[in-house]
Chains A and B, each alone.
Chain A
Amino acid sequence: AQSVSQHNHHVILSEAASLELGCNYSYGGTVNLFWYVQYPGQHLQLLLKYFSGDPLVKGIKGFEAEFIKSKFSFNLRKPSVQWSDTAEYFCAVNARGGSYIPTFGRGTSLIVHP
């Protein structure tokens, strides 16, 4: 079974700072990778996803993530955060050829100070 580890549980930044949230997974086969975001008072929604092709994936609101297969990582980045990026961020992985049920990390709470 796969597992997902998000190393940063709480991150506090000032506006315009750069962001990188770590995500590592354990699974030896081919995977699909996701980042979901939950803004205060809102539903979980997809930020970006990787299935195949270019390992650098662009998402909404200026976010991107890079899949590094050799490191089993899918870190989320944004060069300059805004106050509106304050949210909970979840990394998820599912295994191709399996049941496709995604496994989620514990989440990272990001607070951006104006």
Chain B
Amino acid sequence: GAGVSQSPSNKVTEKGKDVELRCDPISGHTALYWYRQSLGQGLEFLIYFQGNSAPDKSGLPSDRFSAERTGGSVSTLTIQRTQQEDSAVYLCASSSWTSGRGETQYFGPGTRLLVL
């Protein structure tokens, strides 16, 4: 079946503008994660959705970042008033939750964000 998809693949924006990044997880996957990957850095956890539970927002770096997941499927990550330090690749991953042990994550191709 289809994997995780993300759009847009690339986004160039001006400092101070808002951006929205979209993630379509694998159908049936109840868990969805957003990460940020900066050059030379690992994956920085941003936010996690699991089913109908309240999202874990502990990784969001500031209140300019927010995310929602509609209908337990598609998720949108919004960055308001973008700053140059927000430039990074934003990765989305989804996983099933059959046993609660922490299943394999399936990653999307990422959105490369450049803030000028």
Partner of A96, one of B101, B107, B109: B101
Which of A45, A102, A104 interacts with B102 by CB under 8 Å?
Answer: A102
- Specify the chain A residue showing the minimal Cβ separation from B6: A43
Q: Could you list 9 examples of A-B contacts with CB < 8 Å?
A: A34-B104, A43-B4, A44-B93, A94-B102, A99-B48, A100-B100, A104-B35, A104-B43, A105-B42
| Band of interface residues on B | 20 to 34
Interface of chain B, helix or strand or loop or mixed?
loop
Residues of A within 8 A of B101 (CB): 32, 51, 96, 100
Task: Report the bound CA distance from A106 to B42 in whole Å.
Answer: 4
Chain B proximity of A46: nearest CB distance (Å): 5
Kindly state the separation between the CA atoms of A37 and B93 in the bound complex, as whole angstroms. Answer: 14
Are A46 and B105 interface neighbours, CB within 8 A? yes
Asked whether, in the complex, the Cβ of A43 is within 8 Å of the Cβ of B41, the reply is: no
Across the interface, name the chain B residue whose C-beta is closest to A45.
B107
Is the CB–CB distance between A43 and B109 below 8 Å? yes
CB of B42 within 8 A of CB of A96, answer no
Contacts of A44 in B (CB 8 A): 91, 93, 105, 107
- Assess the B48–A101 pair: CB atoms within 8 A: yes
- Complex Cα distance, B40 from A62, in Å, reads 26
Closest 4 CB pairs of A and B: A104-B43, A106-B42, A44-B107, A100-B102
Over the window 32-43 of chain A, the binary record of Cβ atoms lying under 8 Å from chain B Cβ atoms (1 yes, 0 no) is 101010000001
Q: Which residue of A lies closest to B31 (CB)?
A: A100
A92 CA / B35 CA spacing, docked (Å): 13
Residues of A within 8 A of B105 (CB): 36, 44, 46, 102
Rounded to whole angstroms, the CA-CA distance of A51 and B99 in the bound complex is 11
A76 to chain B, nearest CB (A): 15
**In whole angstroms, how far apart are the Cα atoms of A100 and B106 in the complex?**
15
Least distance between B2 CB and chain A CB atoms (Å): 13
1/0 per residue A73-114: CB within 8 Å of B?
A: 000000000000000001010101001111111110000000
